Amino acid sequence: MTPSEIIYSLVNYGEEKGLLDPLDRIYAINKLLRLFREDSYEEPKNSFSIEEAVQAGIGLGKEKKLTELENLNEEDAFEGEMIDALLPRPSQVKEIFFKKYQESPKAATDWFYQFSINARYVRTDRLKKNIVYKVKGEKIDLDITINLSRPEKDPKEIAKAQQVKSSSYPLCLLCKENEGYYGTFTHPGRANHRIIPLKLNGEDFYLQYSPYGYFNEHCIVLKKEHSPMTMNEKTFKRITDFLEMFPTYMLGSNAELPIVGGSILTHEHYQGGDYLFPLAKAGEEESFTFKKFPLIKAAIVKWPLSVLRVTSSSKEEIVAFCTYVLDKWRNYSDESLGIIAKDEVIHNTVSPIGRRVNGAYQFDLALRNNRTSTEYPLGIFHSHPEYWHIKKENIGLIEVLGLAILPGRLQKELELCRLQLLKPSTDIDPSIEKHLPWLMEVKAKHPELNEKNAEAILKEEVGLVFEKVLSDAGVFKRDEKGKAGFIRFIKTL
């Protein structure tokens, strides 16, 4: 492909997808000429697909030593720069978004999501590689994703990252300074990234979509300032403001404490989108009303984690009630169940998830505790060692909702496990040694296992392990003792 053909294909794509105004065509061609260090353009006959053009562009960039970074980030960064030449400026993106918002909130988010895909910021082509399936668990339905696009993080590493004072620019992957940033050796390219400014609780936030897109329209709402995650009244105010603004979306927050929090604790952010998670579909058992909060209905959710579902038509009252539950929980201990609210540090917090249901506001408050012990150094209410072969990472917001994001290594390992089950060998691949006790159980449980059904059985059993991991994360277990404990806590409200 000649440089002119690459450029021609890129601008054609930009126009077709509505990213590039025909009035800006020549300008974009000239920007791309400079990017490729070419000085003249001749309109070619052939136009190629965006994938072909991008690959040829990266090839040209490498050949001319224009990509600079020389690691995995370099191709993405250079691609981002190519696509950026086709995109409107951030202020124009914001203008279009709010023009669409006048039509309806959904029109605005529909447009921005499609824009983020067309801008190749949300990499749907890569997300298609993820292994995605559903499992009917023993008690609940589960969504499983084996993530083939992101490395596994150790909770201790995440905790360590929180201690390290960031000194680079942008300070983190979420910071607003990523918008249009070319990238570095350690920081991924964000030249084709655009964010939408929002006011929540009178404070400045930005809306973007997640490049990893774990579920439909997976969005991130990030604070203007790079400041650590917090959990207090403001959390509930910001979430309800967002739900008022975008009633078709859910929005939740990771807990602010290590182990029970998400992978980024250093920058205040929320995650949401348009997806009906297993938790949202889970039934309720015992329900409660409160004299001090007449407009609140609460119920215990049939879920392995300890989730209190709170519903109200009043935005103010639900914020007040959720804040009240959080404050009560922060100081609540039940030593008979191993729940200790604080010692030198605070251990109790919540993972809140907000949504609209028939116009009302609803929060699922998952009660969390991040204490560790000598027996469970990574967390008492965290995946226990016997399940680490499947899931060792934090049980964050997305997992609380019933969607397992499992490490990519499992793809290869499950295939080796399948072969081991079908044709047991003493020469065992080291990568599946950790799975052996589990494989023994699977084999005993499934005498019907054969060539045809082995893969499906293993995938289902992975889901059942995830269900047990969620139980580990529950502070009030789903047995008589645990249920009574949960009710004792609710009675203090």
Residue ranges in contact with Zn ion by CB under 5 A: 171-172, 174-175, 226, 267
Per the document, the length of the chain is 493
Nearer to Zn ion, 269 or 477 (CB): 269
Closest listed residue to residue 397, CA positions, set 361, 357, 353, 347: 353
To the nearest whole angstrom, how small is the minimum distance from the Cβ of residue 165 to Zn ion? 13
Nearer to Zn ion, 67 or 235 (CB): 235
Nearer to Zn ion, 206 or 293 (CB): 206
To the nearest whole angstrom, how small is the minimum distance from the Cβ of residue 175 to Zn ion? 3
Nearer to Zn ion, 220 or 337 (CB): 220
To the nearest whole angstrom, how small is the minimum distance from the Cβ of residue 214 to Zn ion? 20
Output the six-digit token pair for 50: 């965006």
Nearer to Zn ion, 187 or 347 (CB): 187
To the nearest whole angstrom, how small is the minimum distance from the Cβ of residue 267 to Zn ion? 3
Nearer to Zn ion, 267 or 391 (CB): 267
Output the six-digit token pair for 469: 């991991």
Please name every residue paired with 259 in a beta bridge, in sequence order, or none if there are none.
none
CA distances from 38 to 31, 32, 119, 462 (A): 10, 8, 23, 52
Please, which contacts does 60-67 make with residues 24 or more away whose CB atoms are closer than 8 Å?
A: 60/3, 60/6, 60/36, 61/35, 61/36, 64/36, 64/37, 66/35, 66/36, 66/37
Please, which contacts does 58-62 make with residues 24 or more away whose CB atoms are closer than 8 Å?
A: 60/3, 60/6, 60/36, 61/35, 61/36
Nearer to Zn ion, 226 or 297 (CB): 226
To the nearest whole angstrom, how small is the minimum distance from the Cβ of residue 169 to Zn ion? 10
To the nearest whole angstrom, how small is the minimum distance from the Cβ of residue 185 to Zn ion? 19
To the nearest whole angstrom, how small is the minimum distance from the Cβ of residue 209 to Zn ion? 17
Write out the E strands in 76-224: 131-136, 141-146, 196-200, 203-209, 219-223
Contacts of 96 (CB under 8 A, 6+ apart): 88, 111
Instruction: Using alpha carbons only, give the angle 254, 388, 133 rounded to the nearest 5 degrees.
Output: 70
Output the six-digit token pair for 77: 């960064």
